[in-house]
Amino acid sequence: TSDGGESWQPREVGTSATLRDIRFNDEKNGWICGDGDSTAPEAKGHIVMGRPFHSGVLLLTNDGGVTWQKRWIPTNFLVTCIEPTLAPMLQVGTSGSALHPDGDLMRSPDNGKTWIFERGYRALYAIQALDRKHWVAVGSNVLVSFEPAPKCALYAAGKSRVLYSDDGGKSWSPGVGSEGS
């Protein structure tokens, strides 16, 4: 769209993935994330059994959506949200699905070329950078269990639905007072 969403022109983006979030920082630079592209490489790291072992997809444009570059996100979780405000630093949130409500926070310092992940233990639906240092993420409470139980704060604060970071998204903590059912 070039008129604020009143009319739309179809564009081929080069993936069969289910696309779940789109964000633009300006009229030229945008990102789309999703999952389910059968041509994606095999996922690495935290895997949800019962789902195809294909990586998630990240699409980037620097020409307003006329052309898109494809990158892979090494998870077979649903890739539900992206935060590109501080690109090339990106953060994505994931969810294991309604049948496996677990998730991770995935960070890329280089516009999706490499990825670092931190267990979130809850499905994540939105991430927002408030400034360079302060980030928030929102999702479900912790609905999965492990034996033995992880001793980290994100798992222990299982009812917390908001996570925050005060180091630019490198580490995350539960948001006090964000407990939900």
Asked whether 120 and 172 are in contact (CB, 8 A), the reply is yes
Q: What is the pLDDT of residue 94?
A: 94
pTM of the model: 0.90
* pLDDT of 121 above 70: yes
Model confidence pLDDT, tens digit, residues 124-173: 999 999 999 999 999 999 988 888 999 999 999 999 999 999 999 999 99
Q: What is the pLDDT of residue 170?
A: 92
* pLDDT of 47 above 80: no
Looking at residues 107-123, what average pLDDT do you find? 94
Q: How far apart are CA 176 and CA 164, in angstroms?
A: 10
Looking at residues 104-129, what average pLDDT do you find? 95
Looking at residues 30-55, what average pLDDT do you find? 86
Q: What is the DSSP letter of 168?
A: T
Task: Place 181 in a pLDDT band, splitting at 50, 70 and 90.
Answer: low
* Planar angle of CA 99, 104, 105, nearest 5 degrees: 145
Question: How deeply is 64 buried, as exposed, middle or buried, from its count of CB atoms within 10 A (0-12, 13-18, 19+)?
Answer: middle
Residue at 69: amino acid letter: Q
Question: How deeply is 41 buried, as exposed, middle or buried, from its count of CB atoms within 10 A (0-12, 13-18, 19+)?
Answer: exposed
